[in-house]
Structure 1
Amino acid sequence: MMNAIDKQLQQATNRYLPNLLITVIVLIIFVWSTSAVQLDNVTANGLSIAKNILLGLIQPDTELLFNLTTGGVLYLLLETMAIAFLGTIVGAVLAIPLAFLSASNIVPKPVAYVIRLLLIVIRTIPPIVYGLMFIRVTGQGPFTGVLTISLTSVGMLSKLYVDVIEDLDTSVLESMESIGCTTIEKIRYGILPQLSAMFMSIVIYRFDMNLRDAAILGLVGAGGIGAPLIFAMNAYRWSEVGSILIGLIVLILIVEVVSNKVRSKLVKG
């Protein structure tokens, strides 16, 4: 018993200097990062605008909030959700073959490394940059948002898919191979049953993230609720800003609750 205690004390002593060094480095980085905070730019006009934004949230434009026309908040929220949903589905489908091609336990390692490098490049570029690029090709509108969400989803979903694929129970595949199953049969009866629930959980999680991205993409003209939001802010119509933000908050909260329940059932499943 005493030997175990002495061993733990020795390990704690050995970790003291590395932990102290890491703490000092983090503090130095934190202090250096605070230099980016410039409070001199906060003026009385800025504080007044912040007050008006808060008043807009408290006193929203209810006519805009419950308007059922194409210019109302409800329709714009529906369009935003449609962009996120369709983009997620397209990205989820395209990510499946890329994930298998980048899984080192499925394909040769050189092939897996090349595909992983491609996916890293895709994930590196922010969604708003993709949106600006696609606008030049397809013009402004929801289709641009769908293309952007699809491409950004491919990069992240493929990475998460790979983690699941590489944790496969290979003993099942070996048993199926020993009884003469074909590759298609091994995928259909050995791989898909293990992956389907986790894949669905990952897709739902990504949809939750894409809903927020779809709202931001509207700021650059890629459809959805972002464009009316930026127009209202530029025109200082804070009651309209409040109604749009309230609708967006409610939509995201509903999707968050529903997606968490569905994902928990899939995982337990």
Structure 2
Amino acid sequence: MSTLTAVEKQFNLAPKRRGYVWMIVLTLSGLMLWSVSELSLALDQRGMVIASNIFTGLLNPDLSFLFSLTNQGVLYLLLETLSIAFLGTIIGAILAVPLAFLSASNIVPKPVSGLTRVMLIFVRTIPSLVYGLMLIRVTGPGPFAGVLTIGVTSIGMLAKLYVDAIEDLDTKVLESMTSMGCSMFEKIRFGILPQLLALFLSVMIYRFDMNMREASILGLVGAGGIGAPLIFAMQGYRWSQVGSILIGLVFLILLIEAISNKLRAKLVNG
């Protein structure tokens, strides 16, 4: 009871900022009304019919297409999408490590870290579909373009998260290694990586979970995976095949997320 009284007393002593709160509420309300007025939220009858057909396709999937073992079936396309996401994540995770160390102000001089961070911001700014369209022009359509796209788009986020971990390091280890005359490579290899390995792997698994979703839409621009068959089935109004693809994709993503969560929990908790 005394604790509750103390909390109430502290609450009553707190300055009342009703004008400030009302200003925020009115500003947000005005922005929401303006945003709604700029958007066309009306649904025509044809759109409702298509939505009904999509829902019907989800309830009545094409099982022969879903469980087909050919290279045109859903299982093969999901395996291809999974491979694109996995290889792209590995490439991005490897390339992000040196860039992360070059971005860490406690490892390299600040001009070097600042320049590298600007470059990583530029890399993160470009959407994955834009990278896919550019790389398809270089490598041609197919899964290889998807792997490169996932790899490039992963670098920016992974390097940023790596940098945050590097700058939170225990610097006493580095200071003791410096007093022993260790080189920069030796400090990274024996003083930094052992502290960061588990966290790096956890971040990489988290990014793989995201890349699985990215890889599923890269097929829309011809970069392999299940995205192209999905858009072709939608354009052809083959809703039962759309349902088969979406069901397979949902189950695969749920499975990957469950496994990745367990792996990340084990890595973080040791």
Which one of the candidate residues 22, 25, 29 is aligned to 2:24?
Answer: 22
Which one of the candidate residues 37, 54, 74 is aligned to 1:35?
Answer: 37
Match of 2:165 in 1: 164
Amino acid at match of 2:31: I
Match of 1:98 in 2: 99
Alignment RMSD: 1.9
Unpaired segments ≥5 residues, structure 1: none
Deviation at 1:137, TM superposition (A): 1.5
Instruction: Please state if 1:145 is matched with 2:146.
Output: yes
Identity, in percent, stands at 63
The CA deviation string for residues 11-58 of structure 1, in whole angstroms up to 9 with x for no partner, is 442x54444333322222222111243134x22211111101001000
Amino acid at match of 1:20: W
Match of 1:187 in 2: 188
Match of 1:254 in 2: 255
The CA deviation string for residues 208-247 of structure 1, in whole angstroms up to 9 with x for no partner, is 0000000011111100000000000000000000000000
Q: How do 1:16-95 and structure 2 match up within 5 A?
A: 16-40=18-42, 42-95=43-96
Runs of 4+ in 1 over 6 A off after TM superposition: 1-7
Amino acid at match of 1:223: G
Amino acid at match of 2:27: I
TM-score, normalisation: structure 2? 0.93
TM-score, normalisation: structure 1? 0.94
Instruction: Please state if 1:121 is matched with 2:122.
Output: yes
Q: 28-37 or 217-226, which moves further after superposition?
A: 28-37
Distance in 2 between residues matched to 1:17 and 1:167, nearest whole Å: 40
Distance in 2 between residues matched to 1:12 and 1:140, nearest whole Å: 62
The CA deviation string for residues 77-99 of structure 1, in whole angstroms up to 9 with x for no partner, is 00000000000000000001111
Amino acid at match of 1:31: L
Match of 2:245 in 1: 244
Unpaired segments ≥5 residues, structure 2: none
Match of 2:236 in 1: 235
Distance 1:53 1:4, change over 3 A: closer
The CA deviation string for residues 153-201 of structure 1, in whole angstroms up to 9 with x for no partner, is 0011111110000000001111222233333332222101110011000
SS class of match (1:39): coil
Distance in 1 between residues matched to 2:265 and 2:209, nearest whole Å: 14
Distance in 2 between residues matched to 1:47 and 1:82, nearest whole Å: 36
SS class of match (1:106): coil
